[in-house]
Structure formats: C-alpha cells, structure tokens
Amino acid sequence: GQNIDQPTEMTATEGAIVQINCTYQTSGFNGLFWYQQHAGEAPTFLSYNVLDGLEEKGRFSSFLSRSKGYSYLLLKELQMKDSASYLCAGEDNTDKLIFGTGTRLQVFP
C-alpha cells in the first residue's frame, strides 16, 4: 500500500528550530515534496528532493534518505507566520503525488 506518515501537530517558540519528520511508502518513488498550507488556503511549494541529502533554501531545509524512506523539513529562526500545516508528499511511479495529512505547526511568541 501507499502511505505517508507525519506527526499531526507540533509546537515551537518564535526564533527556535523545528524539524518535521515524514516517512513514506509508495509504489515506486520519484521524489519527495514539501508544501506549506495556511488555514483555508491552498498548499504552496516549499521543496523537492529526489537524491539523498540536504537541500537548503533560506530558513527552510529538506532532507531525504531513500534507503530509509524518510524525509524531514527543518525550519530555522521560526516566525509567527510559519504557523501552518506542512504537507509531505511522495511521488509514486505513476507520477501521482501521495499526500500526508499534514503536520500542524503552531509557533508561540
């Protein structure tokens, strides 16, 4: 079966660092996407990993281990506006995105 697992909720403090983990099982694997979704809004693209390792993009970094079926999204210097849901999505061998239910991150002052 196809499955994306990520924690349901996380909390953190403004200025801190938070890591959101994701494990995946897909039929074949073409890559791993992270999207940010604010309440009532559409998902917006954050990152894409296809090779093992860390991809850094400003305050956000994403890591992938294909052998472990594992990814994480790292958010540094947290800001209040980072409060949102973070969706992990694996692309399977039919080029379809399999989304997780999202991790709701709340950032407190």
Partner 1 sequence: DAMVIQNPRYQVTQFGKPVTLSCSQTLNHNVMYWYQQKSSQAPKLLFHYYDKDFNNEADTPDNFQSRRPNTSFCFLDIRSPGLGDAAMYLCATSRDNRADTQYFGPGTRLTVL
Q: How far is the CB of 31 from partner 1 (least distance, A)?
A: 5
Under rule CB under 8 A, residue 58 binds partner 1 = no
Q: How far is the CB of 76 from partner 1 (least distance, A)?
A: 22
Under rule CB under 8 A, residue 64 binds partner 1 = no
Whose CA is closest to 103, among 29, 46, 28, 52? 46
Q: How far is the CB of 12 from partner 1 (least distance, A)?
A: 20
Under rule CB under 8 A, residue 82 binds partner 1 = no
- 51 vs 109, which CB is nearer to partner 1? 51
Interface pick for partner 1 out of 21, 23, 25, 30 (rule CB under 8 A): 30
Under rule CB under 8 A, residue 99 binds partner 1 = yes
**Beta carbons of 20 and 6 less than 8 angstroms apart:** yes
